[in-house]
Amino acid sequence: MPQLFEPIGCVVDPETGTLSNATGAYQKRFGDLAGLYADEAAFAAMAGDLGDTVVYEVMEFRPNERAGDLIFGVTRMQPGKVGSEYFVTRGHIHRQSDRPEIYYGQKGRGLMLMESPEGEIRIVEIGVQTVCYVPPYWIHRSVNTGSEDLVMLFCYPADSGQDYDCIARAGGMRVRVVDDGKGGWTTVDNPGWRPRDAATVAALYGQPNKENRT
């Protein structure tokens, strides 16, 4: 017989970005994010005061990691910029890269920056009550382009996993999201971005070839 799990209701508080009945949580401090931003001098100057500040945090409900089940939770991101670049999460691709994800805006405004293995960019703006669908195979990173906390619900298959190094291995994402000088945002190319070779692209699609097999 299959194992039965207990149903549960979890309350999202958009003001605080918290989730009741969470089974886990983690926090990222400003000082943890060295190397993410283009303006390293601005980052270093801010790290003096902000180094220990929690810039984003996650509370989640994770019943198990069984294929077919779901993990969901709430993420809260502080507003801010390093130089002209808006605050971002580290970002990831799912370790099982064919697994999708849903984000649902609860407070503030921001966007989901997505990059395909080949380097195509897509952006979905997220406001309150926007559902953002992140399809399988897209690397994704949240960006707070607003002036208050960005709070989102998320939900993804329980066996997805996360690969947090795929962005760093390419020298960052292909574009950066910066202040457009008019209170909004725009993108600029990241000159440090390196296109992935064919073997790396195949591996990100979950099709390891001879060169990539480990």
**Contact residues: Zn ion, CB under 5 A:** 101
Q: At residue 66, what is the residue type?
A: R
- 116 Cβ contact partners less than 8 Å away, ≥ 6 residues apart: 122, 137, 138, 139
Tell the smallest beta-carbon distance from residue 33 to Zn ion (Å). Answer: 17
Structure tokens at 68: 């077919």
How far, in Å, CA of 97 to CA of 108, rounded? 29
Tell the smallest beta-carbon distance from residue 99 to Zn ion (Å). Answer: 8
Nearest-CB residue to Zn ion?
A: 101
Beta carbon nearer to Zn ion, 46 or 71: 71
Tell the smallest beta-carbon distance from residue 160 to Zn ion (Å). Answer: 7
Beta carbon nearer to Zn ion, 101 or 149: 101
Structure tokens at 33: 């994010």
Q: Among the residues of the chain, which ranges form H helices?
A: 40-50, 166-169, 198-204
3-state SS, one letter per residue, for 73-94: EEEEECCCEECCEECECCCEEC
Beta carbon nearer to Zn ion, 84 or 160: 160
Beta carbon nearer to Zn ion, 172 or 178: 172
How far, in Å, CA of 56 to CA of 103, rounded? 15
Tell the smallest beta-carbon distance from residue 134 to Zn ion (Å). Answer: 7
Tell the smallest beta-carbon distance from residue 208 to Zn ion (Å). Answer: 21
Beta carbon nearer to Zn ion, 85 or 101: 101
Q: Which of 191, 190, 141, 145 is nearest to 33 (CA)?
A: 141
